[in-house]
Amino acid sequence: MTASAIYRGVVEHRRHAPVDHRFSYRLFMLWIDLDEVEHLFDGRWFWSYERANLASFRRADYLGDPSTPLRDAVLDEVEREFGTRPQGPVRMLTQPRCLGVGFNPVTFYYCFDEHDDVEAIVAEITNTPWNERHRYVLRRGDGPAVTRRFRKEFHISPFLSMDQEHDWRFSPPADRLAIHMRNLERGDALFDATLQLERKPWSGRELAKTLALHPFMTGKTLLGIYWQALRLRLKGAPFHEHPKTAEGISP
């Protein structure tokens, strides 16, 4: 029996200041056990590993050297940050390429301990149009949920300044999965994003249904980013240059 699954649900973004702006849309993400990834799509119509298809998984789309197994690359990140290496499975929450287009605003890697509890989470963020990547490595505290507040280090949106903190909360992955992310500036919440997902079994029927509901998920994500940026610009939201551009460096 596979540990992998499909999650479908809703993502919501809200900006509270200096302009009010909010939107939500439906999406799917794959929950992939990295010990299974190379054979997970075997025999699945329209899905493939390292081959073009309606939906496909490409190792090069994710962190680390593509010649290194992704599981090892994730655990290397955790070990560099904390000096210890989780001993349980590593499972990722991500969107595959759809119709050849690959883009993930964020991929989450859940690293479990030997008791199957989440020990650490690696968040790999990609911005656009710069196509830069950045990783935050977070460790679970005393409760079952992962909750962390930390300084912003990476330019994601020109409508959010770098002088902010992130406050992220992750529920334990189960039949339902929730992630809530806030951006704070001098203690005030200016922005939040919430992901609310429901788990579906990894089956041919659910994979086909997922593609029927969301045939161009990654393209929709990219188009949505630029459409919402245009709306923010028209509302007069302050624009912040990429830090490297402001310093005269090409990002």
Question: Does residue 142 form part of some domain?
Answer: yes
Q: Report pLDDT digits (tens) over 169-180.
A: 999 999 999 999
Domain of 126, in residue numbers? 5-246
Flag whether pLDDT at 188 surpasses 60. yes
Q: What is the mean pLDDT of the chain?
A: 96
Q: Report pLDDT digits (tens) over 14-30.
A: 999 999 999 999 999 99
Q: Using CA atoms, how far apart are residues 223 and 62, in angstroms rounded to an integer? A: 21
Residue 113, CA atoms < 13 Å, CB-side half-sphere: 9
Q: Are strands 176-185 and 188-201 parallel, antiparallel or unpaired?
A: antiparallel
Q: Specify the number of domains making up the chain.
A: 1
Question: Does residue 214 form part of some domain?
Answer: yes
Question: Does residue 120 form part of some domain?
Answer: yes
What phi and psi values does residue 178 have, to the nearest 5 degrees?
Answer: -130, 140
Q: Measured between alpha carbons, how far is residue 224 from residues 59, 108, 155, 216 in Å?
A: 25, 20, 18, 12
Question: Does residue 251 form part of some domain?
Answer: no
Categorize the per-residue pLDDT at 247 as very low, low, confident or very high, splitting at 50, 70 and 90: low
Could you report how far apart the first and last alpha carbons of the chain are, in Å? 45
Question: Does residue 69 form part of some domain?
Answer: yes
Task: Please tell me the predicted confidence (pLDDT) of residue 142.
Answer: 76
Give the pTM.
0.96
